[in-house]
Amino acid sequence: MLSSRFTLLLSSIVAAIGIAEAGFIDAAATKGVAYDFIVVGGGNAGNVVANRLSENPQTKVLVLEAGPKLSPGGPFDWNYTTTAQTGLGGRSIPYPRGHVLGGSSSTNYLLYTRGSSEDYDRYASVTGDQGWSWNSMQQYFRKNEKFTPPQDGHNITGQFDPAVHGFNGINSVSLSGFPSPTDGRVMNASAELGGDFKFNLDYNSGSELGLGWIQLTIGGGMRSSSSSAYLAPSFLARPNLHVVVGAEVSRVIKTGVKNGLPTFNSVEFRSDNEVTIGTLIQLTASKEVILSAGSVGTPHILLNSGIGDTQALTAAGVTPLVDLPDVGENLSDHPFGVAAFTVSSNNTIDTLNDNAVLMNQAMQQWETEKTGPLVNSVATHLMFMRLNGSVLGSNPDPAPGPNSPHYELLVADGIPVPPLPTEGNFIAGGAVVLNPTSRGSVKLRTSNPFDAPIIDPALLKTDFDRVVMREAIKSIKKFYAASAWAGYVMAPTGGLEHAVDDASIDEYNRNTTQTIFHPVGTASMSAKGANGGVVDPDLRVKKVGGLRVVDASVIPFIPSAHPQAAVYVFGERASDLIKATYPQ
């Protein structure tokens, strides 16, 4: 059984969006339509680009989304699994990716974290484009964000810094809309411990370190996703914006040569529409095809199109057309672990989760009033922390700068994510390795473009990542050992009780670590003219024309954050870059 808040996350996929029918067309209806831009993937970034490009009524935009619109019981996940992970004791784990309009913004845990200012300054440095710097990107954070009061209307003074937020954007952001019974203890523990646990008024200021109140992509007690925000009914009413769902793209197709470069202005896809099912359809964009299929989908499409490492493509049975060895490489993801403790109270989300009557009451309250415990996500507070110098030692620091965290802790008043205990009450800390040194890959499994790729996120593969996860678990233990928790936190559980030294903590992490599903980097941007990388700083695919990538795959280093905020602003800036390429 899923936790109450996780149930909300799934329920709100349907209830929060309420997409109108305007703008949706069948695949067959695209025949004969002259599109300027074809956006492959209606996820975080793709819907941003579609919205912004279609602001010009003379620009015709088509979105092809492999997943469905939103309906109860729909297939919302691609159901990927990883290769056996050496850092996880040889386990192969599920690898969730949103298979639905809105992509993973329709299925994620709603957390809104921008990252460190040093993340973006590093992007600017490695690409040679200061437009990706923290200061330059502020306009796009404001353009994206619509900060709204929490649903319960509580006084939020001292819980965030309004000076660093946007209030007139498209995507709703808010604080938790229902109080947690442990909020006071969390703040008291922060004050008691100080140091790494010190209070941070707003970790979205670019200075993350410390503990702060959680911020979420929620408005009015409901999920705010790229589809509910950027494809809202008023935008879908634009006659120059079309959306086809159930349209799975197999390849981009070479259409000619321009300025000495092969151009890829056409896409091939199959549709689940009853009229076109089983038929491969080809469409051409007069200006550009924009790949926004995510860090798994985008490299998969590029590789199936013959764009990638020549030798690997040949071995997979795909005719190589453009030699770009880094396609599908540099996969970086956030390993995620949980440390749980029994508590003396029954006022945790576990009680709600275990009691069908209480759950139904909470669901009814949320469905009718959009209030109550289900307006929150899986955590109440976040902490961003660095390794101390003695632990970091002489190892190169993978963080983007000295003021950026190595790991994140999530505070939850119960065990918020599966697997869930069948009885008892708990408090938990989630641990996230924010700047992993491990790098994985996405590769072709076969030459059939509709076969799932081989996904290796390389979780906890390096010694450094294992050390960071170990220290994160130690920090959770330290936090819950503060006197603020006296009489409340009772004992570690779920195997944590046996994790008493470095070796046993490492064993615990091998057996329990999962992913928090934040893959980036598989079509990384690099400086123009650089030997490595997949796209230039303007996100055009290297060595080709007519093709751009706008999604998390272009981010060369994983941000010190849950990446949805970063992907939104990448989409916003990309839209401006594209508009500047085709001035009216």
- Catalytic sites, residue numbers: 518, 562
> 226 — phi, psi (to 5°)?
-65, -30
Q: What's the angle, vertex CA 168, arms to CA 562 and CA 120, rounded to 5?
A: 35
Do 49 and 57 contact (CB within 8 A), yes or no?
Answer: no
One DSSP character per residue, 192-221 reads HH-GGG-B-S-GGGS---EEEE-EESEETT
C-alpha count within 13 angstroms, C-beta hemisphere, residue 231? 38
One DSSP character per residue, 152-192 reads T----BTTB-GGG--SSSSEEEEE-SS--TTHHHHHHHHHH
Beta bridge partners of 81: 94
Beta bridge partners of 515: 335
Among the listed residues 288, 249, 291, 292, the one whose alpha carbon sits nearest the alpha carbon of residue 59: 288
H or E element: which one contains 502? helix 502-512
Among the listed residues 443, 400, 367, the one whose alpha carbon sits nearest the alpha carbon of residue 557: 400
One DSSP character per residue, 78-125 reads --EEBPPBGGGTTB--EE--B-STTGGGGTS--B-----HHHHHHHHH
How many whole angstroms separate alpha carbon 241 and alpha carbon 62?
6
Running DSSP on this structure, what letter comes out for residue 452? Answer: P
Which residue type sits at 148? T
CA dihedral (243, 247, 252, 255) in degrees, to 10, reads -60
How many whole angstroms separate alpha carbon 100 and alpha carbon 47?
12
How many whole angstroms separate alpha carbon 5 and alpha carbon 410?
14
End-to-end Cα distance, the chain: 54
Q: What would the two tokens of residue 485 be?
A: 């928790």
Q: What would the two tokens of residue 95 be?
A: 């690898």
**Is the Cα dihedral 24, 26, 31, 37 positive or negative?**
positive
Q: What would the two tokens of residue 112 be?
A: 């809104």
Among the listed residues 99, 440, 439, 449, the one whose alpha carbon sits nearest the alpha carbon of residue 303: 449
Running DSSP on this structure, what letter comes out for residue 440? Answer: B
